[in-house]
Amino acid sequence: MENSWATSDAGDPPATTARSFDLHLDALGKGPRSGVRRGLTDALREAVRGGRLAPGTRLPSSRALAADLGVARNTVADAYADLVAEGWLTARQGSGTRVAARDVPRPERPARPPRTRGGPVHDLMPGTPDVTSFPRAEWLKAARRALAAAPGDALGYGDPRGRIELRRALAGYLARARGVHAVPDRIVVVPGFVHGLSLLAEFLSERGLRDIAVESYGLDLHWNRLARTGLRTRPLALDERGTRTDGLAGHRAVLLTPAHQFPIGVPLRPDRRAAAVEWARRADGLILEDDYDGEFRYDRQPVGALQGLDPDRVVYLGTASKSLAPALRIAWMVLPAAIASQVAELKEAAGASGGALDQLTLAEFLTSGAYDRHVRAARLRYRRRRDQLVAALAERAPDVRVTGIAAGLHAVLELPPGTEQVVVQSASWQRLALQGLSRFRHPAATADRGDALVVGYGTPADHTWPAVLDALCRALP
């Protein structure tokens, strides 16, 4: 059946001043006036009966609806009169024609599944911040300023590399705070770290690479994403000093977390950082540097980005997911000059880009100093949580050794041999969501750090943190 679209206004003002909305009606048919009137009456009645026109909804004036439908005004007036007489509509002088109030049967709600007492209440998974501390007021101010100053082309499709305002702001911030050598033309903004990693994997695959070196411990999400483009992941050895870069021979690309290895938590030693860069120069290789939580270092100055040692051999990847919130979906890559345009073309071909308005807001947030203030406040808050975690474990679980706590949003709790899975199950009984270290071990890794927990202390809200600590200590041996 054909459909027609009618425009509704508030009463009978002149058409030039009427406020309107769309009203969908089934086709009214053709023929004599009585047939059109009957069709219009039936269509309106069904719209009310089916609930598409809710009680109290104001209908278009007879003049406006007649003009939109291309029928005589008297036809609409007669149809309205019929429905008023039947009780479907009401008509009052000065109030217009409205859908009459009536009892509308509510659809039955599906039965709510029973609550399980064993479901997790507190989230200690690593990798997410305390989103309840997101700086909403400051972000809103930045959004207003950014939108007011935004040029007209900001609302178009734009540059595949991202808004130039954000790329300029990032170039200045990353140089100052992370020691990154960056210019706006070599920065590509992407909707998340994984998306950037996918673009780089596609770039490497198109150039004939079939494998990529990775760390022995990390995220299978990243390994799987690399594998989807045909790259085999080859884990490097690991010791107490971090990832062993002497295993890079024979590779052409490597994914590293040099500032704070995830999840072990140790930084890459200076000699191994230098060795990795030297390997890249000799082998014409590429280092993908994941600087996922580089801003959060507590006991001394942050470890600078590896990219600063050789901007032509290192791709720097950063994200706002840890410092602000994952929902922003904003990450960035600082690329070597030789490949920046090629990666940008891959992004354009993929057709995925982040929201320009959020990018403009983040640019304003960075340049105004609000980002620095937020990161400093978050650093103090997370350091306080870390210190409380260490103190609670020292008092209530002194046999559990805590490592990887100099930076980041998680700690590694070393356990007695053979107890990891038992403690993870015990934590679930305490309604804690956390994971064992073995969950992050590459399937082909030869390194084994033993039994441990990876406890994220970023996610819980401040007011729940004491209860979380108490439940965690009860779960430990």
Mean pLDDT of 374-403: 94
Both structure tokens of 134: 């997101």
Percent of the chain with pLDDT over 70: 89
CB 336 within 8 A of CB 173: no
pLDDT of residue 63: 87
| Cα 426 to Cα 233: distance, rounded to the nearest angstrom | 33
DSSP state of 455: E
Task: Give the C-alpha distances (Å, rounded to integers) separating 467 from 19, 36, 103, 414, 431.
Answer: 54, 69, 47, 22, 11
Lowest mean pLDDT of 193-197, 295-299, 403-407, 412-416, name the range.
Answer: 295-299
Q: Which pLDDT band holds residue 312 (cuts at 50, 70, 90)?
A: very high
Q: Which pLDDT band holds residue 67 (cuts at 50, 70, 90)?
A: confident
Both structure tokens of 125: 């998974």
Closest by CA to 221, choosing from 255, 253, 185, is 255
Q: Is the pLDDT of residue 32 over 70?
A: no
Mean pLDDT of 424-436: 91
Q: Which pLDDT band holds residue 2 (cuts at 50, 70, 90)?
A: very low
pLDDT of residue 4: 43
pLDDT of residue 34: 65
Pairing of strands 238-239, 232-235: unpaired
Closest by CA to 389, choosing from 343, 337, 301, 453, is 453
CB 234 within 8 A of CB 282: no
Query: What is the DSSP annotation of 73-100?
Result: HHHHHHHHHHHHHHTSEEEETTTEEEEP
pLDDT of residue 203: 96
Both structure tokens of 411: 């700690």
Per-residue pLDDT of 168-191, as tens digits, reads 999 999 999 999 999 999 999 999
Q: Is the pLDDT of residue 241 over 70?
A: yes
| Cα 222 to Cα 338: distance, rounded to the nearest angstrom | 24
CB 80 within 8 A of CB 100: no
Mean pLDDT of 255-259: 95
Lowest mean pLDDT of 19-33, 40-54, 75-89, 291-305, name the range.
Answer: 19-33
Q: Which residue has the higher pLDDT, 60 or 140?
A: 140
Strands (E), 320-461: 331-334, 401-403, 410-414, 432-433, 435-436, 452-456
DSSP state of 37: H
HSE-CB of 363 using CA atoms within 13 angstroms? 23
Per-residue pLDDT of 112-156, as tens digits, reads 544 445 566 888 999 889 999 999 999 999 999 999 999 988 888
| Cα 14 to Cα 12: distance, rounded to the nearest angstrom | 7
| Cα 103 to Cα 101: distance, rounded to the nearest angstrom | 7
pLDDT of residue 377: 95
pLDDT of residue 117: 52
Which residue in the block uniquely carries the two structure tokens 């590399």?
A: 161
Q: For residue 171, give the H/E element and its range.
A: helix 164-178
pLDDT of residue 284: 95
3 state SS of 205 = helix
Q: Is the pLDDT of residue 10 over 60?
A: no
- State the chain's mean pLDDT as an integer: 88
Q: Which pLDDT band holds residue 352 (cuts at 50, 70, 90)?
A: low
Mean pLDDT of 336-355: 89
β-partners of residue 24 are: 5
pLDDT of residue 438: 95
Per-residue pLDDT of 68-102, as tens digits, reads 888 888 988 898 999 998 889 998 877 788 999 87
pLDDT of residue 21: 58
β-partners of residue 235 are: 214
Percent of the chain with pLDDT over 90: 62
3 state SS of 406 = coil
Both structure tokens of 213: 């070196």
CB 329 within 8 A of CB 193: no
CB 349 within 8 A of CB 373: no
